[in-house]
Amino acid sequence: MKIHYYGHSGISIEGDQTILVDPWLGHPLATIKAEDIKKADYIIPTHNHFDHVDDIPLIAKNTNATVVGIVETIKELEKKGCTKTIGCNMGGKVQLNNLHLVFTPAFHSMSSNPSGVLIFYQNKTIYHAGDTSVFGDMKLIGDMYPIDIAFLPVGAHYTMGPYEANKAIQLLNPKQVVPIHYNTFDLIKQPIDQSLVQGSSSELIILKPGEELIL
């Protein structure tokens, strides 16, 4: 399985299927444009802020992907032209062929319900926290669903910063952690180093936009 980091909060997970999470390519650090994405089976928006969903209608049209997310976010994307959609909610597993999703809470302001998402695919558990603050039930998430790799926002101002993300890592206890949602703009510039995983057993992996990881 290969994971590609688009920068900001966007990732792709590529195996026999391709799953995109928050694929926004309108930021200054992006190495490709939305129209360059030619393959996707599923697209998962964690919430409906522009820096997570604005490119989804175009990518979905070009790839014929199914957009899967919280009902209210999906309804807004349907208004923007997404025709293959699955609306769901936080709770139990959502079955999609040979992968499963569990949507989790995220604490963030917006006009629809923000979420994180657990992706169960090819015997790996991947957690994308979306935009969120740290919250105590991250320990419950980590206890119930042992996480192979977690993508956590660290930019502060709009989400957790490094101090809060360090606590989130201790609660979630993932094997590996990749920081996201930072350095895209001046307001969320953060120096990230090994102190992010201090007090945990998690391995820190720092990806630059355009870089890939084999999981």
Q: Taking CA 178 as the corner, what is the angle to CA 157 and CA 146, rounded to the nearest 5 degrees?
A: 110
Non-local (6+) Cβ contacts of 144 within 8 A are none
The CATH number given to whatever domain includes residue 85 is: 3.60.15.10
* pTM of the complete model: 0.98
Give residue 144's domain range: 2-214
pLDDT confidence bin for 183, thresholds 50/70/90 = very high
Q: Give the pLDDT score at 113.
A: 83
What percentage of the chain carries pLDDT values higher than 90?
97
| Mean pLDDT confidence for 117-122 | 98
Q: Are 114 and 106 in contact (CB under 8 A)?
A: yes
Number of domains in the chain: 1
